[in-house]
Structure 1
Amino acid sequence: MKKETEQLWASEKYTVMAKGYNLYKEVQGLMRDAQTNADYEKVTMLIAEMKKKPFERRALCNTLEHVWGYFKKSAEEVDKEHFFSLLNTLRESDEEYYDETPYEIDLFLQYLLQKYPSEYLSRSTFIKN
């Protein structure tokens, strides 16, 4: 159960972070302290509940900056400029909550992942494949 929960957390970490940083920290703490199958089951159920919540704009922007860290060393300047243009548009949006990552951003993340592969990010549910 421990290994499965750790794999689940690795794949859902950025999705949960984009729902709310406090939610991310809650799961991170539970993962750190988990010892029994019941503990890991609780984490699994909590992740499932959090996935139902909408993305918070501020948390989504923070998560995008974290994800950008996987690309920043290899990304061309044109890709960097486009990414931060999309991020700034999101930051300036009047919407506070999103049911999903805005389409243009999601599409660009897929492009970045294809152009600058990351095995870890490819397993993340945050970037749709």
Structure 2
Amino acid sequence: MRQKDIRRECEELWAKNKYYVLSKSQKAYLEIREYLKEKELDVLYLNEKIQEARDMKESKKDFRNAILHIWGYFKKKASTIEKQALFNILNEYMEGKNNQDVVIEYINTLLKRYPNEYLEKSILLTGEKYETMA
């Protein structure tokens, strides 16, 4: 396979998984981002790195960070009430009063109202099980 095709495959895989990885570990996210700047890429290596992130324990701080990144896609469109609702749900999550599913469910509500093709493929939001690009 040509390096150009490998790069495209890696970029597609990363696009689906980047917010999921960010929700687990900002450090892992930044490492993968650096790796993707390399001249030669390897899909199996990228898969391995994503899998390592998947196996990490939940990090409230990193999950919150990922949600705030995703919020960036909505902030110009969403109403003040929608923004307040998200931040209330997120704060409740940080305080342990709800879980990630509640936050993701609300983000998906926003996504239905304000479609975004890129976010619609994000496994953090789709809940898709790990998918390798073999």
Calculate percent identity across the aligned residue pairs: 30
Could you tell me which runs of 5 or more consecutive residues in structure 1 were left unpaired when the two chains were aligned: 95-100
Distance 1:34 1:71 in 2: 34
RMSD: 2.0
* Matched residue, 1:97: none
Residue deviations 1:49-74, cap 9 Å, x none?
22222331000011111000000000
* Matched residue, 2:83: 80
SS of aligned partner of 1:55: coil
Matches within 5 A, 1:1-129: 1-36=6-41, 39-93=42-96, 102-128=100-126
SS of aligned partner of 1:33: coil
Distance 2:105 2:39 in 1: 35
TM-score normalised by L of structure 2: 0.82
Deviates more, 1:9-18 or 1:42-51: 42-51
Equivalent pairs counted in the alignment come to: 122
Aligned in 2, Cα 1:63/1:118: closer, same or farther, shift over 3 Å? Answer: same
Could you tell me which runs of 5 or more consecutive residues in structure 2 were left unpaired when the two chains were aligned: 1-5, 128-134
1:34 Cα deviation from its structure 2 partner = 4.5
Give the counterpart letter for 1:14 in structure 2. Answer: Y
Confirm or deny: 8 A CA contact 1:34 1:40 kept in the other structure: no
SS of aligned partner of 1:127: helix
Distance 1:24 1:34 in 2: 19
Distance 1:58 1:34 in 2: 32
Aligned in 2, Cα 1:16/1:34: closer, same or farther, shift over 3 Å? Answer: farther
Q: List structure 1 runs of 4+ shifted beyond 6 angstroms.
A: none
Confirm or deny: 8 A CA contact 1:31 1:40 kept in the other structure: no
